[in-house]
Structure 1
């Protein structure tokens, strides 16, 4: 379905992504992990064509993506929606208008300028918001919502594109554990119920194991691990992150249960000092 073959991105003398190869044969939820600067975000941006590859190719169902230009490139970006860490909403616009921005690639310049939307699109936007549990916030300004709610608005905007693939670039990095869990559960449901491929950049191992069918590890621009969640042992994680024996998963966890256990262990340790 999706083939990434020796994809490389260089910025001058620096190589951000180095000959990355990845095959996705069927819809899946894939987590990409690795430390900051490993090349995760650059990889997603090349898949979405927000950045051009220096070398290599991306093929989707036999169609070469890396060479698309103009309307064909915009059509691909509709099929391959992007969700960002900082939401990228228009703060002063109401929630439903932000969601409707997911249809911009399919609308005329005139309709875009005057903020004109078909009634069926408005109804669909509200249905998507309802599916994500935030329909009651539709008339509010986006800036009035919490971070977790804003990220769900961003997911709703992506769903308005009716994409085949959703790319999520650190979607929970700026969220508290409760909101992070809500957002990841929403992405998982979208994969399972809609049959969409979701590729999600993550920092935390427990999140990757819990929500993803497959985990890809990147280090210094290269893919160094590609396997099932249960194969992601602490030893493998140390290799991916370039860490020593002091590496602790709890230190980077976003799972409430893991955090509670880590806090209890820390308090217990202090009690014996």
Structure 2
């Protein structure tokens, strides 16, 4: 289904993503892990065509999506939905309208300007919210919801696109452990029930092992691990994070969010050396 061939993105002389290659032959839930700056987000942005690649190919169902332009590129971005760490909702807009924004790629400019939606789409949006356990919040402003609820609204918006692939860029990085679990269970259920490919960038080893079928580890723009959750040992994790013998998985666990924020964790990981 997906084949990545020597995918590279350079910013000046620095390669943020450096000749990344791997193949996925069936719909799976994939976790990409690695410290900040490993190239995880840049990879997803290239896949969604938010950022152009410097070199390489990215083939989905045999078609190089990096070469698409115009309407074909917009169709791919509809087929390949993106979920962001900071939700990217319209805070003062009601929840159901935020979800309906997932249809913007196939609506006319006039309908978009006047916020006009077919009744069928409105019912579909409410059904998706119900599936994610938040239909009772449909008429509330998005800013009135908790972080976990807002992320589920963002997932609902992605599902409105009816995508073949869902990309999630650090979807739980700003959430507490309970909401993080709810969001990850929602993504896993979408994969299991719909058969959609889900690729999620994650900082947490325990989360990657629990929810993903396959885990890809990135370090300094390169793939340094590609295997099953069972193969992600502490030693392997140490190599992915470029850490020494004192490396502790607690540094990447969701449990630490009870007493430390994510930014503090990332600062500590950034100081770890081999």
Name 2:263's counterpart in structure 1.
none
1:59 alignment partner in structure 2: 59
Partner of 2:188: 188
Q: Which residue of 2 aligns with 1:215?
A: 215
Match of 2:199 in 1: 199
Question: Is the Cα contact below 8 Å between 2:176 and 2:258 reproduced in 1?
Answer: no
TM-score of the pair, normalised by structure 1: 0.93
Q: Which has the larger radius of gyration?
A: 1
In structure 1, distance between residues paired with 2:218 and 2:28: 18
CA RMSD of aligned residues (A): 1.3
User: 5+ unaligned residues in a row in structure 1: which ranges?
Assistant: 261-273
Contact map agreement 1:17 1:222 (CA 8 A) in 2 = yes
Query: Residue in 2 aligned with 1:178?
Result: 178
User: What pairs with 1:1-273 in structure 2 (closer than 5 Å)?
Assistant: 1-255=1-255
Q: CA deviation at 1:141?
A: 0.3
Alignment correspondent of 1:271: none
Alignment partners' CA distance in 2, 1:254 and 1:74: 35
Q: CA deviation at 1:251?
A: 2.6
CA contact (8 A) 1:171 1:201 kept: yes
Instruction: Please state how far the C-alpha of 1:245 moved relative to its aligned partner.
Output: 1.2
Secondary structure at the aligned position of 2:51 is classed as: coil
- Give the match's secondary structure for 1:93: coil
**What runs of 5+ residues in structure 2 fail to find an aligned partner?**
260-274
Conserved in 1, the CA contact under 8 Å of 2:6 and 2:57? yes
Equivalent-residue separation in structure 2 for 1:251 and 1:3 (angstroms): 32
Distance 1:101 1:259 in 2: 33
**Distance in 2 separating the partners of 1:164 and 1:235:** 34
Equivalent residues, number: 259
Q: TM (normalized to structure 2)?
A: 0.93
* 2:270 aligned residue: none
- Preserved contact between residue 6 and residue 57 of structure 1 (Cα < 8 Å): yes
What SS does structure 1 have at the residue aligned with 2:87? Answer: coil
Distance in 2 (alpha carbons) for counterparts of 1:67 and 1:236? 35
Q: Give the Cα separation in 2 of the matches to 1:28 and 1:7.
A: 20
User: C-alpha deviations, 1:31-90, integer Å up to 9, x for none?
Assistant: 000000000000000000000000001111111100111111000000000000000000
Which consecutive aligned stretches of 4+ in structure 1 deviate over 3 angstroms post-superposition? none
Once the two structures are superposed, residues 218-269 of structure 1 have per-residue CA deviations (whole angstroms, 9 ceiling, x without a partner) of 000000100000000000000000001111112321159x979xxxxxxxxx
Rounded Cα–Cα distance in structure 2 between residues aligned with 1:181 and 1:55? 36
3-state SS of the aligned residue for 2:254? coil
Provide the residue aligned with 2:265 in structure 1: none
Distance in 1 (CA, whole Å) between partners of 2:250 and 2:186 is: 23
Query: 8 Å contact 2:84–2:170 — kept in the other structure?
Result: yes
Q: Is the 8 A contact 2:87 2:150 kept in 1?
A: yes
Distance 1:126 1:182 in 2: 19
